[in-house]
Amino acid sequence: MEKIAFLGLGRMGLPMARRLADSGHPLTVWNRTAGRAGGLTEAASPAEAAQGAGIVITMLADPAAVEAVAEQVADGLAPGTLWIDMSSIGPAATAALRDRLPDGVALVDAPVLGSVGPAATGGLTVLAGGRTEDLDRAQPMLGALGTVLRCGGPGSGAALKIVVISAMVGGVALVGETLALADSLGLSEELALGVLANGPLGGAVARARSRDSDFPIRLAAKDLGLAGGGPVLTAVRELLLADPDLAEQDLSRIVDAIRR
Contact 53, 81 (CB under 8 A): yes
**Mind giving me the DSSP string for the chain?**
---EEEE--STTHHHHHHHHHHTT--EEEE-SSSS--TTS-B-SSHHHHHTT-SEEEE--SSHHHHHHHHHHHGGGPPTT-EEEE-S--HHHHHHHHHHHSPTT-EEEE--EE--HHHHHHT-EEEEEES-HHHHHHHHHHHHHHEEEEEEESTTHHHHHHHHHHHHHHHHHHHHHHHHHHHHHTT--HHHHHHHHHTSTTHHHHHHHH-SS---BHHHHHHHHHHT---HHHHHHHHHHHS-GGGTTSBTTHHHHHHH-
Task: Out of 18, 25, 137, 161, pick the active-site residue.
Answer: 161
CB-CB contact of 82 with 106 (8 Å): yes
Q: In the annotation, is 222 catalytic?
A: no
Using alpha carbons, list the distances in angstroms from residue 16 to 37, 70, 151, 191.
12, 20, 21, 39
Active site residue ranges: 161
